[in-house]
């Protein structure tokens, strides 16, 4: 029996086996870590700068600024855009908490638009309806490894003079046509949390942008607004990416494509085997875009999601529900005044979604599907 690496119960097939994924490059990772330890250069410096230039090149952006996490990358980006109390930012409630958390930490108000039922991403029509005179920006999320409808989002932003910060925490490598998620807006953020497609060995994140002045401001803000050292023009924070994490990320980045291909192959197998099930709705891929399956997220119909999850649990198969409570119904956001029924498509998704192990071979997919078919 193997332990699930993502705080799950003891399972035979973990939701994500990061140790196994690292096995072929374990020696390279350890040698990069050893190099950093021997260099004595732990904060900032050449390892961080090297990874930042590799990331900018990979994403096709002018600048990448490393950060201590995806959450801090988002916070620093919003701080650089001078988000202030009273501002409204339109986003989705069907996402990880950090998306809206960054908005609220700056005293601004997240305004939640409903989602597209097929992609789980923000619905541009509803987004348009939510624009008010207080709106300053749009924060779309490319959820589960799939692009939001950026053309329509950009059109709303342009018409209303708004910035767009893409939360691409789950979607490095995902493409919207020929542009990478994270690279299309005013700025984009990535998370290098270990379970992300490009994960480090702890916490890490980055902001990417084509705006040099914005990148510079974010770089200053992540270091307590200090430039030159001990002279502070801005109040920032400690949002820095560690050299150790940057060195590991430099080792892993060249392998990202090959891991994506494995994820895509498993997704294709699941989708083929479940196509006729009647109970499961498999994730749709939008033609022309590239889904990188940070999560393979099924919908389970007829109110049977929890029964399917229980069946997987009994069979020792890792799984997860992303996300059981949408953000507009979270207790800490009660003051925003939302109630059940306000975002029907989001609420329905929360009751139906079920994520399956994704970095697994064809036989494992077949076994998982055979268990799902018993529901
Ligand atoms: C959509 C989304 N936004 C933001 C974050 C925050 O990233 P981190 O965990 O690196 O702070 C995550 C990570 O879980 C995420 O999935």
pLDDT by residue (tens digit) across 221-241?
999 999 999 999 999 999 999
Look at ligand 1, atom 14, and give the residue with the nearest C-alpha.
Answer: 96
**Which residues of the chain are under the pLDDT cut of 70?**
1-10
Q: Which atom of ligand 1 approaches the CA of 170 most closely?
A: 16
- Give a three-class secondary structure readout of 265-302: HHHHHHHHHHCCCCCEECCCCCCCCECCCCCEEEEECC
What pLDDT was estimated at residue 7?
A: 47
Ligand 1 mean position to 375 CA, how many Å?
32
| C-alpha to C-alpha distance for 105 and 128, rounded to whole angstroms | 24
Whether 201 contacts 194, CB under 8 Å: yes
What is the architecture of the domain spanning 2-22+256-372?
A: Alpha-Beta Complex (3.90)
Q: Which atom of ligand 1 approaches the CA of 69 most closely?
A: 10
Q: Which atom of ligand 1 approaches the CA of 141 most closely?
A: 1
Residue by residue, DSSP assigns 73-139 as HHHHHHHHTT--TT-EEEEESSS-HHHHHHHHHTT-EEEEEPB-TTT-SB-HHHHHHT--TTEEEEE
Around ligand 1, the residues with Cβ closer than 6 Å are 69-71, 95-96, 98-99, 141, 167, 169-170, 191, 193, 203, 205
pLDDT tens, position by position, 277-320: 999 999 999 999 999 999 999 999 999 999 999 999 999 999 99
Ligand 1 mean position to 130 CA, how many Å?
24
What pLDDT was estimated at residue 10?
A: 63
Please give the DSSP secondary-structure letter assigned to residue 149: -
User: Ligand 1, residues 66, 69, 71: which to mutate, most atoms within 8 A of Cβ?
Assistant: 71
| C-alpha to C-alpha distance for 221 and 214, rounded to whole angstroms | 10
List the CATH code of the domain at 24-254: 3.40.640.10
| C-alpha to C-alpha distance for 194 and 200, rounded to whole angstroms | 5
Neighbours of 352 (CB within 10 A): 20
User: What are the domain boundaries of the chain?
Assistant: 2-22+256-372, 24-254
DSSP H/E element including 63:
strand 63-67
């Amino acid at each position: 029996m193997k332990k699930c690496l993502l705080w799950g119960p003891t399972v035979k097939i973990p939701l994500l086996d990061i140790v196994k994924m690292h096995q072929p490059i374990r020696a390279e990772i350890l040698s990069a870590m050893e190099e950093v330890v021997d260099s004595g250069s732990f904060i900032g410096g050449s390892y961080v700068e090297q990874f930042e230039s590799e990331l900018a090149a990979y994403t096709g952006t002018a600048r990448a600024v490393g950060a201590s996490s995806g959450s801090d990358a988002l916070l620093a980006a919003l701080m650089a855009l001078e988000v202030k109390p009273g501002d409204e930012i339109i986003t989705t409630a069907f996402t990880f908490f950090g998306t809206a958390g960054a908005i609220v930490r700056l005293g601004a108000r997240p305004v939640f638009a409903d989602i597209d039922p097929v992609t789980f991403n923000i619905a541009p029509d509803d987004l348009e309806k939510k624009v008010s005179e207080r709106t300053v920006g749009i924060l779309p999320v490319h959820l589960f490894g799939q692009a939001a409808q950026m053309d329509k989002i950009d059109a709303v932003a342009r018409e209303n003079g708004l910035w767009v910060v893409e939360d691409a925490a789950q979607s490095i490598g995902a493409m919207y046509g020929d542009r990478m998620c994270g690279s299309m807006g005013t700025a984009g953020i990535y998370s290098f949390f270990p379970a992300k497609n490009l994960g480090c060995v702890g916490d890490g994140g980055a902001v990417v942008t084509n705006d040099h002045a914005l990148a510079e401001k974010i770089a200053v803000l992540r270091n307590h607004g200090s430039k030159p050292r001990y002279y502070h023009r801005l109040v920032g924070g400690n949002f820095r990416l560690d050299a150790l994490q940057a060195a590991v990320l430099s080792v892993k980045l060249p392998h990202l494509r090959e891991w994506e291909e494995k994820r895509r192959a498993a997704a294709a197998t699941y989708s083929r085997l479940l196509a006729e099930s009647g109970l499961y709705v498999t994730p749709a891929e939008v033609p022309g875009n590239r889904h990188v399956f940070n999560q393979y997220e099924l919908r389970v119909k007829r109110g049977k999601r929890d029964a399917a999850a229980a069946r997987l649990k009994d069979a020792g198969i890792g799984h997860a529900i992303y996300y059981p409570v949408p953000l507009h119904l979270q207790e800490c956001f009660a003051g925003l005044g939302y109630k059940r029924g306000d975002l029907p498509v989001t609420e329905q998704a929360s009751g139906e979604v079920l994520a399956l192990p994704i970095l697994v071979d064809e036989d494992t997919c077949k076994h998982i599907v055979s268990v799902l078919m018993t529901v």
